[in-house]
């Protein structure tokens, strides 16, 4: 028993580099490398952001023709929230439902490609990405055709009485959620795939050897180990989906409009810049709040 | 956590596994007595892991039975078997700390208060203070001990160990061998230990099964197998042997007379696997003694004459090659006990042995002399 006491307790750390060994030039290099990106961010993100912030505080009585005055009109925020809270709720509701659907579709898909596809792996991955080679708009328009009232799908559903004789798919919340699910699915699947691909199946054998049923092995081993991909995938799905307006525009009616549609019309139709800017900021804040709340729970590894 | 299932021996009956047309495990039958330390020894690729995986339930047998006591468990799901495995790769859960890794099996069986048991197990493998670390923060030897603790804590009826010491350096491996043996004696669980290291198998196991190409070549106590191998494969896999091609003429007066390369030898009948026809006359290198001339051979011993072509001094012994008149080179190990004098390379010498130390194995017509090449690995190298 005593022999084991001599077992080394860990591999030695490499000796730290003495500070003197790093010349000034080497210390500057990382910052120099950051410079182009930082400049880009400043010019094309920072400046517009400040401008947008300013616009959200313009006097709401101004207009493009008469000009706007920066009057620090914080009242714009409660005003737009009061006017458009249903669209806010709808945005997060639709995006949330679409996320759940995408998880139900995407997790098994990513798992199958990563663990079971064998030599078909690459082909299947290409299939996941292939739709992205056509434009977002075209793909959504294609759904419009598929779901249209005199299309084959609606005909079939009416024939088997899954849909009332005058029932429709297009221009319903269902169509919008479907469009969101479809359009953003690859953003969920790809990071998930990357995580699941690295999963060592021998760990699942070990779990099963240690009395874990397949369900328990999934919950205790597969799921926690795919967490990084799951978190990244849900964020990459949820953020653009909750800000989207194309799906509601093309597959829905004004009754299905999301906050993106309101912002779109504020800037481009009603030309109400203060309102559009205030809505944009509120959307950003709401998404950040959701994301941080989610990440904090994910960080504790007990999300599910 | 007492188990209701009747305890008992592990029996494999006609166990077979085919991958396509390739037979990895071929009609394997053996019994591992309850509470014994059983070693499955064989070269890489001979089907050891496949056999273990069938016992654990991770591989479905093509045919045959896995019996635990009277119960055939061959078709039970792995998580329903009272069997645990220490995997070749350890397969520790990287997202769980050491404590949770060890507690995994207990928790899956719905046991709530695991703290005492886990702490006891961690101290058994001398990792008391490591509970909160992640597997990646441990050395190979420590990970191996976690894998052992994680399996042992479930008190399985059978513990399967798949070359668990393979990744460790020699010194740590020896320490762990002693440690494993101690733990096995302490907990009294049946251990089935797979290894390709013959020295490991011999030092640890009560019973060794030598496996070759999916079949058991020989099964028995390490000393019995070593002293009286059943086949030429075993004779040269477990240690080294000099095998001289000869012909036996049957038993007479308790002795078998053998003619090999024109010389006559005799072997006690009890040491002959075959007493008639084509045979290999086998003698272990350390059972051969070197002297300068035939008249120095003690009475009642057999001998061959040759020329020393190589002498390697390895500290504990000197390993000679003796080229016989017909050209075969025999290995001779002389212990460095101070009694024997060094024999210079190039000189004539006589190797003699006690007839009771020789053995006879049956031989195919195509087989001629077989002497193991001098390898710097395992025999005697570290003893
Ligand atoms: N899943 C498998 N498919 C095909 N052949 C396999 C599979 N698993 C093992 N084998 C083959 O079976 C033989 C025995 O393998 P294994 O039991 O792992 O050997 P060992 O553990 O003794 O080194 C090897 O030749 C190996 O290539
Ligand atoms: Mg193996």
pLDDT tens-place string over residues B182-210:
889 888 899 999 998 888 999 999 999 99
Chain B interface disruption, residue of A6, A13, A198, A210, most B CBs within 10 A: A210
The confidence score (pLDDT) of residue A301 equals 52
Contacts of A71 (CB under 8 A, 6+ apart): A57, A58, A59
CB A58 within 8 A of CB A73: yes
Q: Tell me how far the alpha carbon of residue B95 lies from the centroid of ligand 1, in angstroms.
A: 29
Please give the torsion angle defined by the CA atoms of residues A279, A284, A287 and A289, in that order, rounded to the nearest 10 degrees: -110
- Check whether A3 has a pLDDT greater than 60: no
* pLDDT over threshold 60, residue A4: no
User: What's the token pair of residue B372?
Assistant: 């193991």
pLDDT score of B86: 95
Closest Cβ–Cβ partner in A7, A212, A216 for B142:
A7
A9, A209, A213 ranked by CB distance to B56: nearest: A209
Nearest CA residue ID for atom 3, ligand 1? B19
Question: Looking at beta carbons, which residues of chain B come within 8 Å of A207?
Answer: 93, 104, 108
Q: Write down the mean pLDDT value for chain B.
A: 89
The pLDDT assigned to A24 comes to 63
pLDDT at B1: 43
Q: Give tens-digit pLDDT for B68-104.
A: 988 999 889 999 999 999 998 899 999 999 999 999 9
The answer to whether residue B224 scores a pLDDT higher than 90 is yes
Residues on chain B touching A4 (C-beta within 8 angstroms): 126, 175, 179
| Neighbouring-strand partners of residue A58 | A70
- Residue A224 distance to chain B (closest CA, Å): 7
Minimal Cβ distance to A208: which of B79, B93, B182: B79
Q: Contact at 8 Å (CB) between B178 and B184?
A: no
For residue B88, which atom of ligand 1 is closest to its CA?
21
Give B154's contacts in chain A (Cβ within 8 Å).
210-211
Is residue B378 scored above 70 in pLDDT?
no
pLDDT band at B376, cuts 50/70/90? very low
Contact B281, B367 (CB under 8 A): no
3-state SS, A118-162, equals: HHHHHHHHHHHHHHHHCCHHHHHHHHHHHHCCCCHHHHHHHHCCC
Whether the per-residue pLDDT at A207 is higher than 50: the answer is: yes
Residue B171 pLDDT grade (very low, low, confident, very high; cuts 50, 70, 90): confident
Cβ count within 10 A of residue B120: 12
Residues A46-81 have pLDDT tens digits of: 999 999 999 999 988 888 888 888 888 899 999 999
Q: Which ligand has its closest atom nearest to the C-alpha of B50?
A: 1
What is d(CA B357, CA B282) in angstroms, rounded to the nearest whole number? 9
Q: Map out the domains of chain A with their CATH numbers.
A: 77-300 (1.10.3720.10)
CA distance A105 to B188: 49
Q: pTM of whole model > 0.95?
A: no
- Give, in order, the Cα–Cα distances in Å from B303 to each of A286, B263, B266, B332, B357: 95, 9, 11, 12, 12
Pairing of strands B190-195, B37-42: parallel
Q: Write the burial class of residue A105 (CB in 10 Å: 0-12 exposed, 13-18 middle, 19+ buried).
A: middle
- Helical spans, DSSP H, in chain B: 48-56, 98-108, 115-124, 140-152, 170-187, 198-204, 222-227, 232-237
- How far apart are the CA of A214 and the nearest CA of chain B, in angstroms? 9
Residue appearing with tokens 């440690």? B179
pLDDT of amino acid A23: 58
Band of residue B227 on the pLDDT scale cut at 50, 70, 90: very high
């Amino acid at each position: 028993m005593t022999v084991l006491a001599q077992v080394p307790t860990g591999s030695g750390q490499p000796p730290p580099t003495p500070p003197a060994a790093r010349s000034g030039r080497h210390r500057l290099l990382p910052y120099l490398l950051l410079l182009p990106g930082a400049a880009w961010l400043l010019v094309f993100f920072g400046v517009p952001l400040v401008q947008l912030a300013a616009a959200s505080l313009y006097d709401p009585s101004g207009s493009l023709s008469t000009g706007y005055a920066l009057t620090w009109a914080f009242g714009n925020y409660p005003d737009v929230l009061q006017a458009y809270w249903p669209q806010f709720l709808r945005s997060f509701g639709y995006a949330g439902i679409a996320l759940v659907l995408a998880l139900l579709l995407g997790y098994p898909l990513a798992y199958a490609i990563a663990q079971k596809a064998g030599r078909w792996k690459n082909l299947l991955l290409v299939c996941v990405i292939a739709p992205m080679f056509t434009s977002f708009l075209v793909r959504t328009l294609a759904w419009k055709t598929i779901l249209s009232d005199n299309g084959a799908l609606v005909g079939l559903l009416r024939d088997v009485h899954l849909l009332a004789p005058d029932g429709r798919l297009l221009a319903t919340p269902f169509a919008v959620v479907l469009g969101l699910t479809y359009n953003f699915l690859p953003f969920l699947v790809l990071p998930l795939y990357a995580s699941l691909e690295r999963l060592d199946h021998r760990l699942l054998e070990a779990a099963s050897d240690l009395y874990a049923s397949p369900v328990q092995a999934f919950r205790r081993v597969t799921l926690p180990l795919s967490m990084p991909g799951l978190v990244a995938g849900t964020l990459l799905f949820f953020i653009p989906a909750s800000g989207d307006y194309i799906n509601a525009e093309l597959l829905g009616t004004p009754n299905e409009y999301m906050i993106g549609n309101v912002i779109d019309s504020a800037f481009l139709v009603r030309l109400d810049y203060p309102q559009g800017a205030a809505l944009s900021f509120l959307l950003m804040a709401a998404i950040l709040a959701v994301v941080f709340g989610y990440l904090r729970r994910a960080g504790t590894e007990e999300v599910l | 956590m007492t188990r209701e299932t009747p305890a008992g021996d592990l029996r494999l009956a006609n166990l077979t596994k085919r991958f396509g047309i390739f037979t990895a495990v071929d009609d394997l039958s053996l019994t591992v007595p309850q509470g014994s330390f059983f070693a499955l020894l064989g070269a890489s690729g001979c089907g050891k892991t496949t056999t273990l995986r069938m016992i654990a339930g991770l591989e479905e047998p093509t045919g045959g039975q896995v019996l635990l006591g009277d119960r055939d468990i061959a078709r039970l799901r792995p998580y329903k078997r009272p069997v645990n495995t220490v995997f070749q790769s350890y397969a520790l859960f990287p997202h769980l700390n050491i404590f949770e890794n060890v507690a995994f099996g207990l928790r899956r069986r719905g046991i709530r208060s695991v703290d005492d048991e886990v702490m006891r197990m961690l101290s058994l493998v001398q990792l008391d203070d490591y509970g909160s670390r992640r597997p990646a923060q441990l050395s190979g030897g420590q990970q191996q001990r976690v894998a052992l603790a994680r399996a042992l804590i479930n008190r399985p009826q059978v513990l399967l160990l798949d070359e668990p010491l393979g990744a460790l350096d020699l010194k740590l491996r020896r320490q762990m061998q002693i440690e494993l043996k101690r733990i096995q004696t302490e907990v009294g669980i049946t251990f089935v230990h797979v290894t390709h290291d013959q020295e490991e198998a011999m030092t640890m196991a009560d019973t060794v099964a030598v496996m070759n190409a999916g079949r058991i070549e020989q099964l028995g106590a390490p000393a019995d197998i070593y002293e009286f191998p059943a086949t030429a494969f075993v004779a040269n896999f477990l240690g080294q042997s000099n095998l001289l091609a000869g012909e036996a003429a049957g038993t007479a007066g308790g002795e078998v007379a053998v003619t090999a390369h024109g010389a006559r030898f005799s072997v006690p009948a009890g040491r002959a696997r075959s007493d008639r026809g084509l045979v290999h006359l086998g003698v272990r290198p350390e059972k051969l003694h070197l002297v300068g001339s035939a008249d120095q051979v003690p009475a009642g011993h057999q001998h061959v004459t040759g020329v020393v072509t190589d002498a390697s001094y390895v500290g504990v012994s000197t390993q000679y090659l003796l080229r016989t008149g017909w050209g075969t080179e025999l290995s001779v190990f002389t212990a460095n006990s101070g009694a024997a004098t060094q024999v210079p390379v190039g000189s004539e010498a006589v190797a003699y042995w006690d007839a009771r130390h020789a053995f006879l194995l049956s031989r195919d017509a195509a087989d001629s002399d077989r002497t193991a090449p001098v390898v710097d690995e395992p025999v005697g190298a570290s003893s």
